[in-house]
Structure 1
């Protein structure tokens, strides 16, 4: 599987100027190529290369391979935009936003990332340096730093392109690594259900609870600080705002990495799979008071799901996504579903069998049961057979045991 490793470059002041000039030249060339692609409709890589390759080398000072990488970047950008238009991500048919996107060529910022392949960039991991092409010739002995795990992954699995990028004056290289996956555990001992939330970021059916109290408190503090600085609106306040940007994003990302690592490691150690609820589109379904909207929209559940997905693949842990409908109102013991089962946010009290537990724990147990049903259904799918009177099957070919196992409908599976 492909894993991206980001390392920090440590250029001198002179090297940083050369890198900035290189990025600027590459993105000016990309804008010129984008204009040609938009005017002629030649958005395919090879068709575009026939029209702009010589111009990029002559007018922008690019060598042969960097010019090819610029053309590839432009072609990929148009492919992505076509996909977004097709999927309605840039507005509905006839909308102003969609019309504007279709009527303008793609533009690249002066500091937009630039891809480099093995002909333009080489790694010396042991020496912690790279050699990279620039518009002023080959830059050698450019130092970089990274964690021991990053350096090990680079040394053993680095393959393909690396992207040069700059953020807030800091330089990074984003390297693509091809990391082998462990064999998939095709016979898990069971499934760990994971219920996601804002107050409790993740609650598992095995008893793990990852509270979001500290992260939510940090977000509220950052919101108050930003509001205060924006009201002040002085030059110094703007400098502080610039320094603080992305800090909250990095904190949330670190928390999600920690939670996903803990969940996957425990599932791998116990031989279980992971069942995660599908929350796609929840921001459009849930209605919140105005004061709570920022909390809902800063909830990074999709990032946590992505982290769990790739770490489970890497560890060979089965992973499925299930429909969360009524999982918080259904009793995990007797399957009784009632709105009154939730007297408050944190407590689940079944009105039928009387069981009382934490609401998120009850929901995660329901997700675990649904995950096991999805996994088994995926493994045991076969060609439909006509019902037989003595077989105990219903008209859909399901036995009583399988009907009992799949008491709640499930939406989709991404494993098995």
Structure 2
């Protein structure tokens, strides 16, 4: 038997739902070079800020700003907004680290893994995501271009694309910051959207139990089963392919393995997402929901 979870579907008291939409940028080679230089500068600055925060034990935005703000602007030639976001990004990273340490995600205090995580400053990859607000990023939806701040100045007419439905969502519901991200040579903006939700007209009176397992990924207390046969078959096929490519160890095999990396996780996440939607829909359409 797997772990048992109880699904609770209830009338929401809030009026908005947050979504993150990934919009693909289509920069020219010159634009891509400017974006790359910008991410590298921001993340190099963030790594330095993290070192200062660790040494000075100043991990709140206001305290850390006193130690680093002017140096970021002078040394890396970042604008005021970029410098502020770099400091905030570092503070958020330390907040996440402390939460993981507190929740035991790095093992018990005193363990090798715990001490390794807690005993050194945080570092940022050169292409780690960087937040952008409306002062640094503007959208021209009809032209499907953005104007975006870079370390070498404002860059206009950067093309973007995406599914029509997603682009409509961005145009109508975008709120707050967007994150610039480079993944395997592709450029994206992760856009936060807030969508108003209609209040559901349901009057729940009970619960739906969900048993999580391996043979059956999920089985509800109403008798519905969601089989894990498909995902287990694909996992086995992926495992054999990885072993084959690792054994071959040629340039082409490494290139294929890199291209294939993450595919298994994305497939599993997609299947789990679809199953969870089915369970929520089932619960929401019966008198068992609460």
The two structures share one fold, judged by TM-score above 0.5: yes
The reply to whether residue 30 of structure 1 matches residue 72 of structure 2 is no
1:106 alignment partner in structure 2 = 122
Structure 2 unmatched ranges of 5 or more: 1-16
The reply to whether residue 118 of structure 1 matches residue 134 of structure 2 is yes
Task: Give the counterpart of 1:237 among 235, 243, 253.
Answer: 253
Give a deviation string over 1:178-215, Cα, whole Å, max 9, x none.
22344356622654433332222233344543322222
1:42 alignment partner in structure 2 = 58
Task: Give the counterpart of 2:209 among 193, 196, 200.
Answer: 193
Question: Structure 1 residues 91 and 214 mapped into 2: Cα distance closer, same or farther (>3 Å)?
Answer: closer
The reply to whether residue 136 of structure 1 matches residue 148 of structure 2 is no
Question: Structure 1 residues 85 and 214 mapped into 2: Cα distance closer, same or farther (>3 Å)?
Answer: closer
1:67 alignment partner in structure 2 = 83
Give a deviation string over 1:225-282, Cα, whole Å, max 9, x none.
0001111112221111111001111111221222223333343344652xxxxxxxxx
Q: Between the two structures, name the one with larger relative contact order (CA 8 Å, sep ≥ 6).
A: 2
Determine helix, strand or coil for the equivalent of 2:156: strand
Determine helix, strand or coil for the equivalent of 1:179: strand
1:158 alignment partner in structure 2 = 174
Please provide the CA RMSD for this pair.
2.0
* Residues 57 and 63 in structure 1, CA contact (< 8 A), matched pair in contact too: yes
Task: Give the counterpart of 2:165 among 130, 149, 164.
Answer: 149
Question: Using the alignment, how far apart are the partners of 2:78 and 2:250 within structure 1?
Answer: 41
Question: Using the alignment, how far apart are the partners of 1:189 and 1:20 within structure 2?
Answer: 54
- 173-182 vs 70-79, which deviates more? 173-182
Task: Give the counterpart of 1:246 among 247, 262, 266.
Answer: 262
Shift of 1:121: 1.1
Question: Using the alignment, how far apart are the partners of 1:207 and 1:124 within structure 2?
Answer: 50
Within 5 A, what are the aligned runs for 1:205-284? Answer: 205-270=221-286, 272-273=288-289
Question: Using the alignment, how far apart are the partners of 1:208 and 1:271 within structure 2?
Answer: 16
1:53 alignment partner in structure 2 = 69
Equivalent residue pairs, number: 274
Shift of 1:27: 0.4
Structure 1 unmatched ranges of 5 or more: 274-317, 319-416
1:169 alignment partner in structure 2 = 185
Question: Structure 1 residues 135 and 249 mapped into 2: Cα distance closer, same or farther (>3 Å)?
Answer: same
TM-score (ref. length: structure 2): 0.87
Indicate the structure (1 or 2) with the bigger Cα radius of gyration.
Answer: 1
* Residues 165 and 171 in structure 1, CA contact (< 8 A), matched pair in contact too: yes
Task: Give the counterpart of 1:78 among 69, 77, 94.
Answer: 94
